[in-house]
């Protein structure tokens, strides 16, 4: 075969269900005349560029979506002036940010202050590499994809600390300290939650986990709901989203580690934060909701559309929690992590190990065994959540949650004196 055969193109890549067809086509075409390494480099580059080309516009739309949805939660209209339905608002914002002056505090460490907005892109983009958009659609289908994901997402905190430290601002330092403390703590339940899946499915490849779910006809949120909840909460803490946005708690430390960043430097932090939210939603969808697979629907609909829909659902959930809940305090977040999430996920790793061993050694029929295990695990999760709620509530129930109404007493100084003397003090 020589040259670019249109018939082959039409024959193979009309099939939008799997964009990998296109990649294979190019590989084969290059292999005809060029060396092997060139074909792998070209397809790798194309994949990365494809991801970059998708993320950029997606982020712009996401900013609009997030603002619009939050606005609806808050009884507002949200952006609706620039462009149709306000869709061009993010573009206008970006232009404004680019045009703004880049201020740096005089006492800042210039080099380290300059680097974080650039460096923060590295983990933010690398993480997309192992996300499977379809059966064979990922830039790098690593056999240790889960490990790669955790390692890369863990490096982001270093950049945050650089930003907070170099700004020479107390708010920024507080934000950075909180970010470091929280990220390191919440890595643990995150790892443990994913370990459950790895133990049970027997693979560390992200695509392998999806394929396992496809093969066994079950999604992991049914099998390990507690791991899903723990991962969701830990992820929202890692992403600095309410109820765990303490490292940039607006009402306390202004904007946390990026307080001193203005203009597009702030814009880059903001963009990466949104991008991370998107990719973590995609990974939650991949690990716990079956990723690109949906009980055979992936035969009819392009798999990446299914993934996108699931990602959207998770993303909406993240916006919802952000729009509804107040923020926890750092010590409360830490104690929730170490006293609740870590033990619970640890127990579920053990549960997963036992169930996996039983499944392998006893040779049970998975179509019967898996539903039973799912029921057991859901019951265990409900039990754990109710136990936690009970423990948390018992303290609360000791205190009244309603005001008392004073009807008989008219009030006045006499009543005030009476209350004060009852409380043990004189007046």
Partner 1 sequence: MTSADDTRSALSGTIETLAGDGSEPVVVNLGPQHPSTHGVFRLKVTLDGEIVQDAEMRIGYLHRSMEKLAEERTYTQNIPFTDRIDYLAAMSNNLAYCLAAEELLGVEVPPRGQAIRVLFAELQRVASHAMANGTFINDCGAWHTPLFYMFRDRERVLDMFEMTCGARLTTNYMRIGGVAFDLPDELLPTLRSFLDDMPDRIASYEDLLMENEILHARARGIGVISPEMAINSSLSGPILRATGVPWDLRKANPYCGYENYEFDIPVGEQGDCFDRFLVRMAEVKQSLRILNQLIDNIPDGPWLADVPLHARPPEGEAYARVESPRGELGFYLVSDGSPAPYRFHCRPPSLINLSALKEMSIGGTLADAIVTLGSIDIVVGEIDR
What is the binding site for partner 1 (CB under 8 A)? 70, 73-76, 170-171, 174, 242-243, 245-246, 249-254, 322-332, 392, 396, 399-407, 409-413, 415-416, 419-420, 423-427
Is 134 in a helix, a strand, or coil?
coil
* Smallest gap from residue 291 Cβ to partner 1 (A): 30
For partner 1, the closer CB: 376 or 414: 414
Q: What is the rounded distance in angstroms from the CA atom of residue 224 to the CA atom of residue 192?
A: 12
For partner 1, the closer CB: 18 or 260: 260
* Smallest gap from residue 241 Cβ to partner 1 (A): 9
Q: What is the rounded distance in angstroms from the CA atom of residue 28 to the CA atom of residue 64?
A: 40
For partner 1, the closer CB: 7 or 405: 405
* Smallest gap from residue 339 Cβ to partner 1 (A): 13
For partner 1, the closer CB: 10 or 423: 423
- Tell which residue, 29, 7, 43, has the closest CA to residue 136: 43
CA distances from 142 to 122, 158, 203, 235 (A): 18, 24, 11, 22
For partner 1, the closer CB: 76 or 81: 76
Q: What is the rounded distance in angstroms from the CA atom of residue 299 to the CA atom of residue 284?
A: 22
* Smallest gap from residue 397 Cβ to partner 1 (A): 11
Q: What is the rounded distance in angstroms from the CA atom of residue 102 to the CA atom of residue 422?
A: 60
* Smallest gap from residue 147 Cβ to partner 1 (A): 33
CA distances from 305 to 55, 134, 312, 382 (A): 15, 9, 10, 32
* Smallest gap from residue 45 Cβ to partner 1 (A): 40
Residue 243 in tokens: 């109820």
* Smallest gap from residue 390 Cβ to partner 1 (A): 12
For partner 1, the closer CB: 18 or 238: 238
Q: Is 106 exposed, middle or buried (0-12, 13-18, 19+ CB in 10 A)?
A: exposed
Q: What is the rounded distance in angstroms from the CA atom of residue 425 to the CA atom of residue 422?
A: 7
For partner 1, the closer CB: 15 or 418: 418
> What contacts 206, CB < 8 A, 6 or more positions away?
130, 131, 132, 138, 141, 142, 145, 146, 149, 283, 286, 287
- Cβ atoms within 10 Å, residue 115: 15
* Smallest gap from residue 407 Cβ to partner 1 (A): 5
For partner 1, the closer CB: 84 or 424: 424
Q: What is the rounded distance in angstroms from the CA atom of residue 387 to the CA atom of residue 343?
A: 13
């Amino acid at each position: 075969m020589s040259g670019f055969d249109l018939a082959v193109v039409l024959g193979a890549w009309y099939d939008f269900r799997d964009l990998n067809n296109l990649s294979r086509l190019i590989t084969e075409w290059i292999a005809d005349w060029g060396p092997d390494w060139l074909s792998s480099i070209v397809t790798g580059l194309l994949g990365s560029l494809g991801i970059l080309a998708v993320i950029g516009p997606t982020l712009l739309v996401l900013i609009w979506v997030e603002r619009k949805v939050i606005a609806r939660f808050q009884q507002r209209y949200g952006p609706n002036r620039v462009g149709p339905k306000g869709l061009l608002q993010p573009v206008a914002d970006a232009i404004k940010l680019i045009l703004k002056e880049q201020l740096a505090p005089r006492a800042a460490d210039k080099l380290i202050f300059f680097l974080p907005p650039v460096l923060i892109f590295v983990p933010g983009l690398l993480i997309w590499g192992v996300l499977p958009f379809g059966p064979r659609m990922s830039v790098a289908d690593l056999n240790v994809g889960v490990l790669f994901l955790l390692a890369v997402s863990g490096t982001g905190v270093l950049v945050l600390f650089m930003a907070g430290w170099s700004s020479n601002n107390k708010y920024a330092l507080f934000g950075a300290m909180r970010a470091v403390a929280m990220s390191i703590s919440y890595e643990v339940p995150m790892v443990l939650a994913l370990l459950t899946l790895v133990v049970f499915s027997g693979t560390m490849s992200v695509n392998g986990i999806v394929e396992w779910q496809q093969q066994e006809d079950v999604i992991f949120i049914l099998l390990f709901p507690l791991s899903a909840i723990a991962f969701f909460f830990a992820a929202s803490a890692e992403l600095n989203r309410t109820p765990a946005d303490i490292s940039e708690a607006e009402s306390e430390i202004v904007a946390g580690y990026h307080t001193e960043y203005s203009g597009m430097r702030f814009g880059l932090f903001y963009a990466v934060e949104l991008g991370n939210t998107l990719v973590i939603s995609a990974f939650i969808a991949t690990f716990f909701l079956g990723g690109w697979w949906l009980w055979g629907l992936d035969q009819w609909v392009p798999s990446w559309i299914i993934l996108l829909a699931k990602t959207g659902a998770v993303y909406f959930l993240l916006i919802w929690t952000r729009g509804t809940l107040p923020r926890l305090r750092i010590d409360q977040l830490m104690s929730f992590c170490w006293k609740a999430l870590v033990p619970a996920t640890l127990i579920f790793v053990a549960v997963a190990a036992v169930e996996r061993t039983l499944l392998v050694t006893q040779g049970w029929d998975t179509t019967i065994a898996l539903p039973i295990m799912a029921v057991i695990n859901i019951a265990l999760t409900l039990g754990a959540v109710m136990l936690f709620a009970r423990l948390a509530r018992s303290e609360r129930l000791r205190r009244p949650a309603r005001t008392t109404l004073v009807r008989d007493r008219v009030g006045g100084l006499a009543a005030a004196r009476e209350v004060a003397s009852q409380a043990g003090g004189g007046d």
